[in-house]
Chain A
Amino acid sequence: MAVYDTADNVTSCSVNDATVFVIDDDEGLRNGVAFLLGTAGLTAKVFASGKDFLAFYNPLMHGCILLDIRMPDISGLDFQEELRRLEIKLPVILMSAYGTIPLAVRAVRDGAFDFIEKPFDDEALLKRVREAITLNIDQRIDNQKVKQAREQLSSLTDRERQVMSLVVSGMLNKQIAAELGISAKTVENHRSRVMDKMGVRSLAELVHLNTLLD
């Protein structure tokens, strides 16, 4: 289990060290699925119920959830709601059986990543699982970037922040100098410090970072 404390760690997390959380009340099925995922090089963790999963999970884990839509203790839809409430942003793939397709469609509309029908095609299952994990990693990286950018932004002085907002709006140094009533040389100094503090090397990067912050 990896611990992601810094942006470097997040960016380094991959599909291979992600975890697939298989939640199904049928022991045979969840073990079978876990076996299949294992043979495909994925790490799977099995849980008999949503409650068991929540007891185990911590926010540093990444991957996706493979959830049986029909479970005795909590329905797939209610479980999704519970995940949202707890701000667990793992993508959910629902496993639906005969007669539960409408339910699964509703779940997807409700924010589930996808659903697969039992008995499922192994290739299709593995493909969707990998996609879900990738989405989760991307989300985490973006989240981490935003978090980092916020920290960097807070290290700027008021003047530097003013300069930055004018720079990303596309103004030239001279225009900024006139706008703020300071010399172009000073603007230049502020600008290089902003780039430094925000950890970017080009104007394009700074603009991208600014979009993330918005």
Chain B
Amino acid sequence: MTVTMLILLTLLIWRLQTHHLEQNHLELSRALESARDSISARLEADEGFLKVLTEQLASGTLIASEFEHLAENYLAERPRLTAIYFIKADHTVLWIVPEEYKNEAQEISQTISEHVTAINQTNETGALTYSRPHVGLSGTQCFDLYVPTPEGSRLTGIMVASYNSRSLLRNTMDRSTIQAYQTELCGGAGQIIYSTPKVAQVDNRLVNEITLLRPDNGLKLRLSKYRAPFWDQQTVALMTICIALIGGMGLGMWALSKQIAERVSAEKALQDANAELEHRVLERTNELSIINHRLAREIAERLEIEEQSRRHMDQLAQMGRVSMMGEMAAGLAHELHQPLGAISSYIKGCQRILEQPSPDVKRIAYAVDNVNTQSRRAAEIIDRLRTFLTPKPPCKQPHNLRTLIDESEHLIEPDRKRIQIKLETDIPPNTPTVMVDRVQIQQVIINLLKNAFESVQARGSDDRLVSIGASLNGGPDIRVDVCDTGIGCSLEELQLIFEPFKSTKAENMGMGLPISRTIIEAHEGRLWATRNQDHGMTFSFTIKVVNHNGSV
């Protein structure tokens, strides 16, 4: 494609060049003719002027001074003419303008004789002639115009105008012609008389010459076209367009091929992607099914955990209630200290007053009044405490004792771990169902376990064991024992162990065991304590079991 384009372009340029050459030839001919015409016109004018002079001379009306005057004026405006002179038949110069050439009259007559063999002969023909080109006055290349006096004139001779070839060309030719062509004047033998300076290489195909004068003196004007740069403006423009076109086309084709390549690779990529996608879909499907399985399992686990946590919360609530009871009891006890402290102060004050010689009865009355108020307040606080400490009637439901104990152990596990107690559980596999208030019974179990832990902790021995066991003795009850290896208590303390506010522990209210006993008794059971033989104590309680027929 590109090659075809290049061939076409070459053809086009060749055609253009041919056309260009033809046109140049035409232009050359025109320039030559135009130059000849313009030179001829001037020469004709000069011929006319010389004819007038010769006629006047012939008629005897022209005198020397007038000739000089006319000729000088004529010359002044026409630099192509070097001189105008009249030469007699004997070859002597009669008149000559400009004056400086008078000294060269001899030389002139000699030149004349070379060119005009017989003036008389010339005169006889009566026709004007041009001399051959020669070196003339002041060494310039010149040629002469001879105009003979007409027949029958008083003075026979020739009027001569001497031309400076260079000036003739210079002042006659168009400026544009001189710039475009090397202009040359050639003599009859082809010798160059004058040449304009050669400004560039001439195009040998574009040379032409023309005979300049009539009558012919062998003088020829030759124009040679200066070689135009191959890349002239037009060609350059054309070439630029073509190159741009070709370039554009090439670019277009390149882009197209690239696009095609891209499309091919894109199609390939698409295919790959499709394959990859299918693979991924397959993979993902597998993954999803795995995830589904896992999710199902997780949901199940989550449900289980939620259930567990719900149960745990339930249990914590129970624990909370137990600890809240302790806290409230402590608060109430503190509150009780205030009225008691006040009462004590009043009484002590009264004692002091009474020790004085004359006691102030009014002050005693004031104190007694206040003691009364404060003791009422104390009674109110105790009432509130009692209300709080009295357990609600149990809400009995069938429960597995083992479950109750397991859950209680679970709840107290953090405490056990913290103080590093070994807890042993010994419960027969087939524990019977009991009708109990779950929360209340667990409170009792936890309270007993806690007490046992604290007792072991207080003793600080390496033997840190607490055990909980259940036993059926064939009767209607099941018995639970909590046994510790702690500090135990004295016999006196054992007597008071279930009395309220008899705690042996600094941070304890001493309400746990009384409450526990109240609860167990509300379940128609018994709670008691025994001192172990070696260390610690055992707390035991009994609960009625449910018979196989469902009755208690």
Contacts and interface: CB of A to CB of B under 8 A. Distances in A.
Contacts of B363: 35, 38-39
B333 interface: yes
B334 A36 contact: no
Interface string A32-49: 110110111000000000
A36 B346 contact: yes
A181 interface: no
B348 A99 contact: no
A39 B339 contact: no
Interface residues of A, number: 19
Nearest to A68: B338
B377 interface: yes
Interface residues of B, number: 26
A38 B341 CA distance: 16
Contact of A31 (B333, B337, B340, B370): B370
A39 B330 contact: no
Contact of A122 (B345, B366, B367, B507): B345
A28 interface: yes
B183 interface: no
Contacts of B340: 119
B500 to A, nearest CB: 15
Given A29-B342, A98-B334, 20 more contacts: A28-B338, A28-B339, A28-B342, A29-B339, A31-B342, A32-B342, A32-B346, A32-B349, A32-B370, A33-B342, A35-B345, A38-B363, A39-B348, A40-B352, A97-B334, A97-B338, A98-B330, A118-B341, A120-B341, A122-B344
Interface of B: 330, 333-334, 337-346, 348-350, 352-353, 363, 366-367, 370, 373-374, 377, 507
A213 B547 CA distance: 92
Interface of A: 26, 28-29, 31-33, 35-36, 38-40, 70, 97-99, 118-120, 122
A22 to B, nearest CB: 10
Contacts of B377: 28
A99 B338 CA distance: 14
Given A98-B334, A119-B337, A29 B345 contact: yes
Contacts of A31: 342, 370
Contacts of A29: 338-339, 341-342, 345
Contacts of A36: 345-346, 348-349, 352
Contacts of B339: 28-29
Contacts of A122: 344-345, 348-349
A38 B342 contact: no
A33 B349 CA distance: 9
Contacts of B348: 36, 39, 122
Nearest to A27: B342
Contacts of B366: 35
A92 to B, nearest CB: 18
Contacts of B337: 97-98, 118-119
Contacts of B374: 28, 32
Given A97-B334, A98-B330, A98-B333, A35 B349 contact: yes
B374 to A, nearest CB: 5
A70 B341 CA distance: 15
25 contacts: A26-B338, A28-B339, A28-B370, A28-B377, A29-B339, A32-B342, A32-B345, A32-B374, A35-B346, A35-B363, A35-B366, A35-B367, A36-B345, A36-B352, A39-B350, A39-B352, A39-B363, A70-B334, A97-B337, A98-B334, A98-B337, A99-B334, A118-B337, A119-B337, A119-B344
